[in-house]
Amino acid sequence: MSEPSTTPAMPKPPASRLDLRSRSGQLWGAVRRSLMPLLAVAAALLVGAILLLIFGYDPIQAYATMWHGIFGSQRNISEVLLKATPVVFTGVAVAIAYSCGIWNIGAEGQFYLGAIGATYVGVYWGDLPGFALLLLVMFAGFIGGGLWAVIPGLLKTWINANEVVVTIMLNYIALGISSYLVTGPMKEASGYFPQTDMIADAARLPRIWLPTRLHVGVILAVILAILVTILLYRTPLGFEIRTIGSNRNAARFAGMPVKRTIIIAMLLSGGSAGLGGAVEIAGLTGRLFAHISPGYGFDGIAVSLIVNNNPLGTIFSGLLFGGLRAGSEIMQISAGIPSVLIQIIQGMTIAFVIAFGVYNILQTQQQKI
Amino acid sequence: MTPSPIPRLEVKNITKRFPGVLANDNISLSILPGEIHALLGENGAGKTTLMNIVYGLVHRDSGEILINGMPVNIRSPREAIQHRVGMVHQHFMLVPTLTVAENVILGMRPFTHHLLDMREIEQDILKIAEKYGLQIKPSELISRLSVGEQQRVEIVKALYRGVDLLILDEPTAVLTPQETTELFKTIRSLTKQGLSIIFITHKLNEVMEVADRISVLRDGKLIATKSVQETDKDELAFLMVDRCISFTVEKPEMKRGEPVLVVKDLTVSDKFRTQVDHISFHVCSGEILGIAGVDGNGQNELALSLSGLLRPSSGKILLNGKDVTHESVRKLNRVGLGHIPADRQNLGLVMDFTVAENLILQRYYCSPFTTTLGFFDLAQIQENAQRLVREYDIRTRTTQTKLNHLSGGNQQKVILAREIDQKPKLLIAVQPTRGLDCGATEYIHQILVEQRNAGAAILLVSTELDEILALSDRICVMYEGKIMGELLNTGEDILRIGRLMAGVTDS
């Protein structure tokens, strides 16, 4: 132990054998971890079946309908993907902020601001040439959501304001702004409805699986998740974000620009959620109305948590959410099960997945001791 | 100590394997009533694991535990306490916003009444504290207590639960010499009342001072159990590290060069008090300047302000002749400042990052780790890690192992490798060997001296006088933020340094 061995002593053979064993162990761990959510869903559906029985419904028929609702037809599959798309965006948003040690509960508001920005450009700058307009719509979405998230970032770095409180409050303000705009300044030129005009055709995202409504946004979501993973694990900025998230003092000690990085991380986080809003407008609805998001931003928190805030993982947890939402909608319509009961089953599934996830984390922590 | 036929605790053939490590290898030992039993060994020897097994925090793979002759199966700390076994961890488990009394009763049930009568509880606590001669104020908030006082609360917490075997995990690692003396008094008064104490440590002096019997662990094995009368420091050190160690570092004649660091009239203060009070000194290349002093006399603040982490309120810092008083941490790092911080787990390392990542914590954005395109070059990062792991003998399974899987000594080696590999002109080392075992300490001392011989200027801040005397060329003594005196290290001025540390000036 005492000699600073300058001779290149190669790692001893036993060590490398251990190394191999640990790697296969890691592989098994990874497999087990990825199976966990499926087990959790199965467990939740089982408990849900008991509930359905208690209330006098046939669980087998109910789940058959649900299965059909998810995989039954081209249209159903596309609806699952459509519902998964926005929560992957918001899930990635939550994951980025969490990597930097910040709880972004404001993805919902950032999603709204992104939708507002995208709609504004799409409606009022509609004369711009095609592809440029689409790019600008997406950019407006990113900036809208990003700047909305920079507010809590600045407050955190300036006066150490708790980001959880600030982001939650900003959600309400964002919702208020959106409601005001669609009933006032941005209200559609004709008609009574509290909604904006349609954005220009050139601002719409192309559909990719006709005749379904599925649009290119689903691919953008996957690309975003991949890009963010590369950013976090393969670039200096990502290294700074992760270091600050793990140990802010060590980041300061290492000379990292802590405040600047937190602001950038929030910009990227809010930007991802805002991009989700823009994609929803440009891909699906074509216009803004007051309640454009049924809670995608909040779902994003769960989507990110389930996969331990791994941006790549949000693709899978996003699909799980999409399937759950789409499947249970069909279950409600076709099997005549009350929506309250379906919401209970949905909520239970999320709770189970999170519980199994926590169990996983505890398992890995125990190995550390 | 009166030998008794039934040991209070007996562990038989305990084996515990962690992934890749045999932490406890067939260990058997017994603790007698009223005995102070030291568990001695280097970091990673398996002392804490063994005690965590006894306390129910870790589960054994095989072996037997007997308490008062009865075999028991302890699965949780709660069960351990039911068997009258208590443990005080190295890192305290106290809630800073609660009072002493509230912390003492935390997690206890049931109470006789539905409402807590805090006054009655405080009275009980005072009674216990008095019985064992512990000074404690039950209504005080934990956050207002010093580290030594907090430790007392932890001990009272265990006593309040009626334990008669108390495990202390590295209790002196966080204490000042005065607090250590106080603790030893406490321990002795506890054993007079019949308690047994297990004292985990790697400090030979303490073992000789306070223990009745000593069990030496090495690489997970029990090497020997000796009574204090039949052994001495040299033998114990030999048993611990399996080879003879020299307590003095070989140090060639100093070749002092130009001043590298010049500090002029530096003051650091916060809202409440002045921590560094108009200090001036300099460090030349090729020399080690030791800053001695009792912990908490401004040394930490001095080191933090020199490395750009704390803003000085007045004064000047010159590095290589340039004014760097208000430079950023990164700029200082670029112009040749290396820093081994006192709080290595909180400042120096990211514990859930890999060894490789921790080794590039400052230079991650530079070539060759980041390519011109702005992406990490993972091969280079890996190569860098493998080279440093080899050169600095960092004991880790792979370079992708997370830091919290490494022993304390190897964690410190990661910092050392990272800082020294940048070839600093000035190296600030604060408590570089605190909490480390003999082997790691000696290694780090050697590296520091090597750096000095190679022409680096080294500022060594340490509360361990032995370390200051062994390494320093010159010594400054700090007391309440001021430098009380400066002297060349002849190794013979211990008394004078001691007086200066206590704030008594020469005149």
- Same domain for B80 and B127, yes or no, is yes
**In this model, does residue A241 exceed pLDDT 60?**
yes
Q: Is B485 a domain residue?
A: yes
- Same domain for B125 and B234, yes or no, is yes
Q: Is A120 a domain residue?
A: yes
Spatial strand order of the sheet with B314-319 comes to B274-284, B259-269, B314-319, B322-323
Q: Residue A2: what pLDDT?
A: 39
Side chain identity, residue B85? V
Q: Distance, in angstroms, between A357 CA and closest chain B CA?
A: 19
Poorest-pLDDT segment among A32-36, A231-235, B343-347, B464-468: A32-36
Q: Distance, in angstroms, between B131 CA and closest chain A CA?
A: 36
B287 and B256 in contact (C-beta within 8 Å)? yes
Residue the block writes with tokens 């702005």: B374
Q: Residue A45: what pLDDT?
A: 87
**In this model, does residue B504 exceed pLDDT 80?**
no
Considering chain A, what percentage of its residues have pLDDT values greater than 90?
Answer: 59
Q: Is B342 a domain residue?
A: no
pLDDT, mean over chain B: 87
**In this model, does residue B194 exceed pLDDT 70?**
yes
Does A255 contact B376 at a Cβ distance shorter than 8 Å? no
Q: Residue A126: what pLDDT?
A: 84
- Decide which of A264 and B494 is more confident: A264
A6, A243, A369: residue with CB nearest B350: A243
Last residue of a domain, one of B206, B241, B276: B241
Mean pLDDT to the nearest integer, A156-170: 94
- 3-state class (DSSP) for residue B18: strand
CB proximity list for B470: less than 8 A, separation 6 or greater = B247, B248, B249, B445
Considering chain B, what percentage of its residues have pLDDT values greater than 70?
Answer: 94
Chain A environment of B375 (Cβ under 8 Å): 230, 234-235
Q: Residue A14: what pLDDT?
A: 37
Q: Is B294 a domain residue?
A: yes
B309, B439, B442: residue with CB nearest A253: B309
**In this model, does residue A311 exceed pLDDT 90?**
yes
Token pair in block for residue B241:
């590290």
Q: Residue B48: what pLDDT?
A: 87
Q: Is A211 a domain residue?
A: yes
ipTM > 0.90 (yes/no): no
- Same domain for B203 and B171, yes or no, is yes
- 3-state class (DSSP) for residue B137: coil
Q: What is the pLDDT of residues B59-83, one digit of tens each?
A: 999 999 999 999 999 999 889 999 9
Q: Is A15 on the interface with B (CB under 8 A)?
A: yes
**In this model, does residue B343 exceed pLDDT 50?**
yes
Does B20 contact A25 at a Cβ distance shorter than 8 Å? no
Q: Is A259 on the interface with B (CB under 8 A)?
A: no
Q: Is B447 on the interface with A (CB under 8 A)?
A: yes
Q: Residue A24: what pLDDT?
A: 56
Residue the block writes with tokens 């803004």: A288
Does B58 contact A5 at a Cβ distance shorter than 8 Å? no
CA angle B317/B323/B328 to nearest 5° reads 80
Chain A environment of B397 (Cβ under 8 Å): 15, 18-19, 22
- Same domain for B474 and B358, yes or no, is no
Does B397 contact A19 at a Cβ distance shorter than 8 Å? yes
Q: Residue B111: what pLDDT?
A: 58
Q: Is B341 a domain residue?
A: no
Tell me the residues of chain B between 358 and 417 that have a Cβ less than 8 Å away from chain A: 361-362, 364-365, 370, 374-376, 378, 390-393, 395, 397-398, 402, 404-405
**In this model, does residue B309 exceed pLDDT 80?**
yes
Chain B environment of A239 (Cβ under 8 Å): 357, 364, 376
User: Whole domain around residue B325: which residue ranges?
Assistant: 248-336+425-507
Q: Is A338 a domain residue?
A: yes
Q: Is B343 a domain residue?
A: no
Q: Is A20 on the interface with B (CB under 8 A)?
A: no
CA distance B228 to A256: 51
Q: Is A7 a domain residue?
A: no
Chain B environment of A243 (Cβ under 8 Å): 350, 353, 361
Does B447 contact A4 at a Cβ distance shorter than 8 Å? yes
B471 and B249 in contact (C-beta within 8 Å)? yes
CA distance B369 to B364: 6
Mean pLDDT to the nearest integer, B34-45: 85
Token pair in block for residue A18:
């251990």
Q: Residue B244: what pLDDT?
A: 34
Model confidence at B90, pLDDT cuts 50, 70, 90, reads confident
Q: Is A213 a domain residue?
A: yes
User: Whole domain around residue A143: which residue ranges?
Assistant: 59-368
Number of domains within chain B = 3
CA angle A211/A214/A217 to nearest 5° reads 150
Q: Is A26 a domain residue?
A: no
Q: Is B290 a domain residue?
A: yes
Q: Residue A324: what pLDDT?
A: 85
Q: Residue B460: what pLDDT?
A: 96
CA distance B348 to B357: 12
- Same domain for B265 and B406, yes or no, is no
Q: Is A3 on the interface with B (CB under 8 A)?
A: yes
How many CB atoms are closer than 10 A to CB B73? 10
Q: What is the pLDDT of residues B219-241, one digit of tens each?
A: 788 989 999 999 887 788 767 76
- 3-state class (DSSP) for residue B293: coil
The CATH number given to whatever domain includes residue A106 is: 1.10.3470
Best-predicted range by mean pLDDT (A345-359, B36-50, B369-383): B369-383
**In this model, does residue B146 exceed pLDDT 90?**
no
- Same domain for B20 and B32, yes or no, is yes
Last residue of a domain, one of B362, B396, B422: B422
- What is each CA distance from B507 to B281, B485, B500, B503, in whole angstroms? 20, 11, 11, 12
Last residue of a domain, one of B210, B241, B272: B241
Q: Is B28 a domain residue?
A: yes
**In this model, does residue A221 exceed pLDDT 50?**
yes
- Same domain for B112 and B181, yes or no, is yes
Number of domains within chain A = 1
- Same domain for B40 and B143, yes or no, is yes
Q: Residue A11: what pLDDT?
A: 37
Tell me the residues of chain B between 410 and 439 that have a Cβ less than 8 Å away from chain A: 439
A242, A255, A367: residue with CB nearest B333: A255
Q: Is B352 a domain residue?
A: yes
The CATH number given to whatever domain includes residue B120 is: 3.40.50.300
Q: Residue B92: what pLDDT?
A: 83
Q: Is A172 a domain residue?
A: yes
Mean pLDDT to the nearest integer, B465-481: 89
Cα-based torsion angle of the residue sequence B450, B451, B452, B456 in order, rounded to the nearest 10 degrees = 160
CA angle B441/B444/B447 to nearest 5° reads 150
- Same domain for B81 and B196, yes or no, is yes
- Same domain for B431 and B488, yes or no, is yes
How many CB atoms are closer than 10 A to CB A190? 7
CA distance B89 to A84: 47
Poorest-pLDDT segment among A6-10, B321-325, B429-433: A6-10
- Same domain for B16 and B102, yes or no, is yes
Q: What is the pLDDT of residues B171-185, one digit of tens each?
A: 887 777 778 888 899
**In this model, does residue B5 exceed pLDDT 70?**
no
